[in-house]
Structure 1
Amino acid sequence: MNLVLSPEQQELRDTVRSFLGTVSPLPKVREGYDPDVYARLNGELGLSGLIVPEEYGGSGAGFAELAVVLTETGAALLPGPFLATTFAAIALTRVPDKELLTGIAEGRVVATLAQPAGDDGLVAESADGGVAVRGTLARVLGGMEAGVLLVPARTGDGMVLVAVDLTGEGVTRTPLETLDITRGQARIELDGARGRVLGASPQDDGIGDRLAVALAAEQLGVLRASLDSIVAYAKIRVAFGRYIGSYQGVKHKLADMHCKLEQAESIVRFAAWAADESPEELPAAAALAQAYVGRACFEVARDHLLLHGGIGFTWEHDAHLFYKRAKTDEVLLGPPRIHRARLADLLEL
């Protein structure tokens, strides 16, 4: 196990960072999702097909490489459905479908993955060679931009994973007013929407663990960018005749934030390694990633906003964008306490 990035991974990191800095700088992030940026992200770099197997037209890369990319998209606060489509691709690598995987790899398909709330979930009934899906999803990441929804649904034979065409009849999408203005969610109501069964929804497929690792990688990027921002500010902001970075209270806070970054980076890289190489260690690694990185990301984003002083609370400053992305990510897969409890169970504590 090597937690240090390989030369190829460093080159991937630098390429994605440079690309996002050019086509999606922070001032542009406020404008929201830009389909042209998303098309270039997939067309020029092929990032949507990064973990798609080569037999389906993807790069066949592992989670170590995916973590590198998501760290950079998180640091850039990339708007749009990239994380949602990544979640869908992760699910499809466990329940393969050639049509969807090929479409994602080529950048033609924007997809999202949703988990129904409640015990009943969605219901799928046979209809005209496919299924008709009924039910409501209160919050779907990227629900307005996606063309395909992957969701578990109940049939007479048990739980199956269904691909629903969100552009067809029987689908009502309502955009939600979310805390994070850079990435939207939607309420989706399905009333006989046409769907296609991809396969049985396995009970222990590792999808949830892999989603946790992917999200932790994005959180690592948000954490790093927040720290970089306040460190740069502390070097130029003068108060009472001194740079604020020279004050002991600020120095100690920045040191604490840096320690959180170092720990989070090690945790994310270990979790990504486990997803690729050690499935038996993945559940604990994924639970640790969300239990620690999610909270650390929010704390660093919060403190970086506070250390900016009054300017950090203004709408024009970028600090609130990182704060809101950090809080939204922290609870996206459930609050940290859920992951702490799962980790305790796995460690038999």
Structure 2
Amino acid sequence: MRFALSEDQRLLQESVGRALGELAPLERVRAYAEGGDFADVWRGLAEMGLPGLLIPEEHGGLGLGLLEAAVAAEAMGAAVAPGPFLGSVLAPLALRGGTPEQQVRWLPRLASGEATACIAISEAVAGARDGAGVEASDGRLTGKALFVLDAQGADLLIVADRAGGLHLVEQPPAAGAMATIDATRRLSEVTFEGTPAEPLASNDGLERLRDAAWVMLAADTLGASQAMIDKAVAYAKERQQFGRVIGSFQAVKHMCAEMVAELEPARALVWYAAYAFDHAPQEATVMAAHAKAHLAEIGRFIARTSTEVHGGIGITDLLGLHYWFKRIGLNRQLYGGPERVREAAARAQGLVPA
């Protein structure tokens, strides 16, 4: 039995990483962070079929699983690439609870990249703040959703109400930008005032969506953390101090080795959490929670240590290391910080009352 990525999965990861290296180098990411557009890069990724990873072949997608999506998410995190990738993974999962008419209407457009989708589930899975939350009544939504990724310009919005139901909004209201630490992704506040919505009929739809989101964020952090290690090692091999490269100093060697030692076991954890989502549903919630919480802690350690290896230049805008640092920071809190996520894992195992 092989406990590793298949040849096809490795090729997918390499292809996405290579494409991002060409389409979205750091200069391109920096331009986006300063207010630029990323639509042309997303079109390039759409031509590779990236938005259709989880969409069935009969609807124009590739019909793959969450493990393949996690492999792609790892490459996205390594490149700190903007783009509505998370929505392209979660929306098709939500639409599995939709009607055949809803699926025919939306899945082919999402698979081709013609339409983009975003997800508003933060209050339902991570707790409401600032009075946020959405109520559903008679086919209409009222309330406010915060921390909605890639809402600006999205054609489709999947919304969770306070009771845990999922709804499809075809004409999302205008999204107001929210200030966050991560400039590589844009989060929004979306206000609903009697907004028409179609229900998505699924008993466990929100929990499945949450589990998939946790795995995707863990995979993104995995990729970003590996990139920070690679940058630290490369810098340690070229930066000289006292007539020697700093990588020859035992303290720097230990810092780099400890980062690798912490991250490498986490790779298998993320991959298995993604595998369990499709093939071991009885383990899916616990594994997704462990992956999200553990990568949040490991990612923070690596972000800090990599910056320390770089010394003072590590915090400068010129180097750009802060893009990875802040992306890992947002991933840590989005859809629940490690404490809340571990509590969900404990509930799923019956260790604390539901």
Secondary structure, aligned partner of 1:136: strand
Q: 1:136 aligns with which of 144, 150, 154?
A: 144
Q: Tell me if structure 1 keeps the 8 A contact 2:94–2:200.
A: no
- How many residue pairs get aligned? The number is 338
C-alpha distance in 1 between matches for 2:54 and 2:148: 22
The alpha-carbon deviation at position 265 of structure 1 amounts to 0.5
Shift of 1:212: 1.1
Relative to structure 1, is the Cα distance of residues 144 and 201 closer, same or farther in structure 2, using a 3 angstrom cutoff? farther
Maintained 8 Å contact 1:138/1:187:
yes
1:246 Cα offset (Å): 1.0
Task: Give aligned-pair identity as a percent.
Answer: 36
Write out aligned runs for 1:90-105 (5 A). Answer: 90-95=93-98, 97-98=102-103, 99-105=105-111
- What TM-score comes out, normalization by structure 2 length? 0.89
2:26 is aligned to: 26
Residue 38 of structure 1 corresponds to: 42
Note if contact 2:135-2:141 (Cα within 8 Å) is conserved in structure 1.
yes
Is the contact between residue 159 and residue 201 of structure 1 (CA under 8 Å) also seen in structure 2?
no
Instruction: Map 1:301-340; keep pairs closer than 5 Å.
Output: 301-340=303-342
> What residue number does 2:159 align with?
151
CA-CA distance at 1:192 after TM superposition: 2.1
> Which position in structure 2 is the counterpart of 1:251?
253
- The 2-side partners of 1:163 and 1:324 are apart by 31
Distance in 2, matches of 1:89 and 1:316, equals 38
CA distance in structure 2 between the aligned counterparts of 1:116 and 1:246, rounded to whole angstroms: 46
Question: What's 1:54 paired with?
Answer: 57
Moved more, 284-293 or 116-125: 116-125
Cα distance in 2, alignment partners of residues 184 and 120 from structure 1? 18
TM, length-normalised to structure 1: 0.90
Q: Which sections of structure 1, spanning at least 5 residues, go unmatched?
A: none
Contact 2:132–2:143 at 8 Å: present in 1 too? Answer: no
**Residue type at the aligned position of 1:64:** L
Q: Relative to total residues, which structure has the larger helix share, 1 or 2?
A: 2
CA distance, structure 2, for counterparts of residue 267 and residue 11 of structure 1: 20
CA contact (8 A) 2:165 2:206 kept: no
Of 88, 92, 104, the match for 2:91 = 88
Q: What are the superposed Cα offsets for residues 124-179 of structure 1, whole Å, 9 maximum, x if unpaired? A: 343xxxx332211122111213221111237xxx7642111345xxx242111211
Structure 1 residues 307 and 110: alpha-carbon distance in aligned structure 2, compared to 1, 3 A threshold: same
- Contact between 1:52 and 1:93, CA under 8 Å: does it hold in 2? no
| Counterpart-to-counterpart distance in 1, 2:241 and 2:347 | 49
Displacement of 1:65 in angstroms is 1.1
1:236 is matched with which residue? 238
Deviation at 1:296, TM superposition (A): 0.8
Q: Which residue of 1 aligns with 2:136?
A: 124
Q: Does the 8 A contact of 2:236 with 2:245 survive in 1?
A: yes
Q: Tell me how far apart the structure 2 counterparts of residues 10 and 300 of structure 1 sit (CA, whole Å).
A: 24
| Residues 90-140 of structure 1: per-residue CA shift (max 9 Å, x gap) | 3223546412222211212211111263499323343xxxx3322111221
SS in 1 for 2:81: coil
CA distance in 1 between counterparts of 2:303 and 2:311 reads: 13
Superposed CA RMSD in Å reads 2.1
- Aligned equivalents of 2:308, 2:10: Cα separation in 1: 32
SS at match of 1:61: coil
Aligned counterpart for 2:286 among listed residues 265, 271, 284: 284
Seen in structure 2, the aligned counterparts of structure 1 residues 245 and 94 have a Cα distance that, compared at 3 Å, is: farther
Compared CA separation, residues 165 and 304, structure 1 to 2 (3 A): same
| 2:143 counterpart SS class | strand
Q: Give the conservation status (yes or no) of the 8 Å contact 2:266–2:295.
A: yes
Query: For the residues of structure 1 that align with 2:241 and 2:92, how far apart are their CA atoms?
Result: 49
CA distance in 2, matches of 1:106, 1:267: 31
Higher mean C-alpha displacement, 206-215 vs 250-259: 206-215
How far is 1:342 from its partner?
2.9
The CA deviation string for residues 255-281 of structure 1, in whole angstroms up to 9 with x for no partner, is 110012211101011111111211112
* Distance (whole Å) between structure 1 residues aligned to residue 89 and residue 41 of structure 2: 16
- 2:169 aligns to what? 164
Taking the aligned partners of 1:195 and 1:142, their CA distance within structure 2 comes to 19
1:106 aligned residue (87, 91, 112): 112
- Greater alpha carbon shift after TM alignment, 70-79 vs 201-210: 201-210
Provide the C-alpha distance between the structure 2 equivalents of 1:87 and 1:203, rounded to a whole number of angstroms.
11
